[in-house]
Structure 1
Amino acid sequence: MAVTISDVAKEAGVSTSTVSKVLNNWSSISPATCERVHEAIKKLHYTPNARAVSFAKGASHNILFLSSLKKEEAYRNPHMFDILCGVRRTLAEHGYTLMLTDFPDTAEPQEYLTGLIGKGLADGILIHGSCSFPQLSRLLTESRFPHIHIGHPGPGSRMCWIDTNNGLAGQFAAQHMLECGYEKVAFIGERRTDHISTQRLNGFLGGMYDYGYRVPDEYIRYTDSTREDACRQTHEVLSLPVPPRAFICENNTLALGVVKALHERQLQIPDEAAFLTFDSYPYSSIIDPTPTVIDIDVYDLGVQAAQMLLRKLENPTLLVQAYTTLPVLRQGLSTVLAF
């Protein structure tokens, strides 16, 4: 039969609460009592239960990760899992476990989140941007529960957040296109309401403007986020009286549609039409030719999100609001530098 804390207390001649205080290094316990307790622990070969010790300290050493986990989520939001892997490894290195929980499909998700916080299941929470809702900022700031929101929550938010600089990624795309000598550049984006697509578009437009180029409105195309619509939009913009020489694709799915349209038009890439895309995952390896990519290490984003949450746990008054993980250009065969 396993030795319990009650057995240790009986052997040492103290109460179980005293044994618990000794295990948690309470300064109010006399050195003599501490010595008796430790001698009893050694004699009985008692191993404290880590969960019980954490509970006594008022900490669970567990972190919640709230995200949407619906069917086919891996296809709709592939980067979330790389972020999750970075988070898990970093927390494990600091002795924390990670509990993945699904965003509830209810009209009042704040009640679900309030319940999770109130149960004391975790010391903090990481919230993927796919789980934002109007009451989230108020709930977290009023409860003062340690948190990091992965993704910019919007202007004026008092939440702690971390995000990649998608606007800067758009600027990098503009700079590369101009370095290649492509002055007429179209942007194939997602829906108008997509936050990341809008950030990348604004960065691209700003980057072009900084070098003295204005992108015509008809060169900016929004899609329903499918390859088929990206293909259709590309055909339309190529039919303009002055068609673009190059395309910036907001993601790999849209890049597949753009490439399909260029092949259907029998345009040689990159000699007659060039393109680049953001992110090296999930389809860049099967796009022909190998695309030039503005890439962001989202695994590193997860690492840094976890590190910031750990800092928040050490200093609850810390306000974390930061961009991190700079974009990197990966030259492929879909653009060619001018010489």
Structure 2
Amino acid sequence: MPITIGDVAKEAGVSISTVSKVLNNWTTISPATAERVQEAIRKLDYTPNSRAVSFARQATRNIVYLTSLNKDEAYHNPHMFDIMCGVNRVLSENNYSLTLVDTSADSEKGESVANVMSKKCADGMIIHGSAINKEIADLITRQQFPHILIGHPGFDSQLCWVDTNHALAGQTAAEYLISCGYGDVAFIGGKKTDYISTQRLKGFLGAMHQYGYLVGADRICYTDSGREESYQAALTLLKAAKPPRAIICENNTLALGTAKAIEQLNLRVPEDLAFVIFDVYPYSKILDPKPVVIDINVYDMGIQAGDMLLRKLKNPSLQIQTYTTLPTINA
């Protein structure tokens, strides 16, 4: 028969509750008693039941990661897996498990988040920004459930969140091009309502203005973030009487269309045109011509998110609203 916690208590001459407290590192147990219990554990070769230990702690040692897991999600949200890997590394090093919860089947936004809190199946949760709205944000803060949101929520709230500084990434792109001697730069972005695109554009425009370069409206193209519209936008820019000396694409899909236009016009990169994009994933390594990449280490962002959630578990009153991970230039 397997050794039980009762056997350990009998061997050590203490109560079962004392053994449980030793297993959970209670500081109220005297060192001598704790050592007697540990000696009994070693003698009997006792392995604690993880569920029993979690129950004694009133904790699950489980963290839920909520995100959409639709087919082809890797193309729509290419950074998700790297972030998740970073989170998992920190949690596993601290003896926490990570459970994936798919939000794509929610009948209304926030349904999965509410279920996790009501069922108490996790000590905390990490939530992709797409799963949040104002109503569910208010519910999380009202219940004071430990959480970290991946990405700025897009509205004022008391949520804890971590994000990359997209404006800084845009600034970095502009400063790189200026340092290389390019002053006439065009920007191909997504929709005017796209948060990441507008933040990167904001950083780009701010840096250009700071260094004395004016960017005309004809150098800024808004698209549906698709390949075809970026192709048409790049063609229009490059066929103009005075084409730009450099193009920045706000995401990899836009870069696909721009690369097609560059190739069609037989332009050389970087001799005829500088070509800069954001993010490594998913196409930067196969693009031809090869662009300069302004990259964010989202694996590190996942590590930071996991670490911040563990800090939140230790200090529930801690509010975390921060940008993390600096952009780097892969030329």
Establish whether TM, by shorter chain, passes 0.5: yes
Q: CA deviation at 1:260?
A: 0.7
CA shift at 1:21, angstroms? Answer: 4.1
Greater shift after overlay, 13-22 or 183-192?
Answer: 13-22
Q: Which residue of 1 aligns with 2:75?
A: 75
Matches within 5 A, 1:20-31: 20-24=20-24
Cα contact 1:253–1:283 (8 A) shared by 2: yes
**8 Å CA contact 2:114, 2:136 repeated in 1:** no
TM-score of the pair, normalised by structure 1: 0.88
Who is 2:276 aligned against? 276
Matched residue, 2:125: 125
Whether contact under 8 Å (1:104, 1:112) holds in the other structure is no
1:208-236: CA deviations, max 9, x gaps? 11112221112211222222221111112
Per the alignment, residue 304 of structure 2 pairs with 304
In 1, Cα distance between equivalents of 2:31 and 2:325: 49
Q: How does 1:91-106 map to 2 (within 5 A)?
A: 91-106=91-106
How far apart are residue 291 of structure 1 and its match?
Answer: 1.4
The equivalent of 2:193 in structure 1 is 193
Structure 2 gaps, min length 5: none
Contact 1:110 1:139 in 2 (8 A): no
CA distance in structure 2 between the partners assigned to 1:30 and 1:165 by the alignment: 49
Q: Decide whether the 8 Å contact of 1:132 with 1:153 is kept in 2.
A: yes
Change in Cα spacing, 1:237 to 1:61, as seen in structure 2 (3 Å) is same
Instruction: State the AA in 1 paired with 2:82.
Output: D
Aligned length: 331
Alpha-carbon distance between aligned partners in 2 of 1:98 and 1:226, rounded to the nearest angstrom: 34
Cα deviations by residue, 1:164-187 (Å, 9 ceiling, x for unpaired): 111011011111222222222111
Partner of 2:51: 51
What is the letter of the counterpart of residue 297 of structure 1?
N
Q: Deviations over 1:221-275 (max 9, x none)?
A: 1222222221111112234343322100112221121111011122222222221
For structure 1, list consecutive stretches of 5 or more residues without a partner in the other structure.
Answer: 332-339
Identity %: 58
Give the Å deviation of 1:288: 2.0
Deviations 1:80-124 (A, max 9, x none): 111111110111111111111111433434343222122222111
Q: 1:146 is matched with which residue?
A: 146
Contact 2:61 2:95 in 1 (8 A): yes
Q: What is the distance in 2 between the residues matched to 1:330 and 1:168?
A: 16
CA distance in 2, matches of 1:26, 1:179: 58
Residues 137/267 of structure 1: CA separation in 2 closer, same or farther (3 Å cut): same
The corresponding residue for 2:289 is 289
Tell me how far 1:45 sits from its aligned partner: 3.7
| Corresponding residue SS for 2:134 | coil
Question: Which deviates more, 212-221 or 38-47?
Answer: 38-47
* 2:267 alignment partner in structure 1: 267
**Which letter maps to 2:287?**
I
Matched, 1:160 2:160: yes
TM-superposed deviation, 1:302: 0.5
Matched position secondary structure for 2:197:
helix
Alpha-carbon distance between aligned partners in 1 of 2:31 and 2:308, rounded to the nearest angstrom: 37
SS at match of 2:110: helix
Cα distance 1:27–1:75, how it changes in 2: closer, same or farther (>3 A)?
closer
1:322 shift after superposition: 0.9
C-alpha offsets along residues 114-169 of structure 1, whole Å, 9 cap, x if unaligned? 22122222111111223222323211111111111111112422111111111011
Name the SS of the counterpart of 2:163 in structure 1.
strand
Report the 3-state secondary structure (helix = DSSP H, G, I; strand = E; otherwise coil) of the residue aligned with 1:135.
Answer: helix
Structure 2 CA distance for partners of 1:5 and 1:265, relative to 1, 3 Å: same
Q: Which moved more, 1:25-34 or 1:284-293?
A: 25-34
**1:27 Cα deviation after fit:** 6.6
1:18 Cα shift? 5.4
Q: Hey, what does 2:85 align to over in structure 1?
A: 85
Q: 3-state SS of the aligned residue for 2:117? A: helix
In 2 relative to 1, CA 33–214 (structure 1 residues): closer, same or farther, beyond 3 Å?
closer
Moved more, 234-243 or 146-155: 234-243
Letter of the aligned partner of 1:202 in structure 2?
K
One-letter code aligned to 1:51: R
Q: Partner residue of 1:336?
A: none
Encode CA deviations 1:179-211: one digit per residue, 9 max, x unaligned.
222222111112222211111011111111111
For residues 55 and 131 of structure 2, the distance between their equivalents in structure 1, rounded to whole angstroms, comes to 29
**CA distance in structure 1 between the partners assigned to 2:188 and 2:31 by the alignment:** 71
Question: Which stretch of the first structure deviates more once superposed, 64-73 or 230-239?
Answer: 230-239
- Opposite residue 121 of structure 1, the aligned amino acid is C
Q: Greater CA deviation, 207-216 or 98-107?
A: 98-107
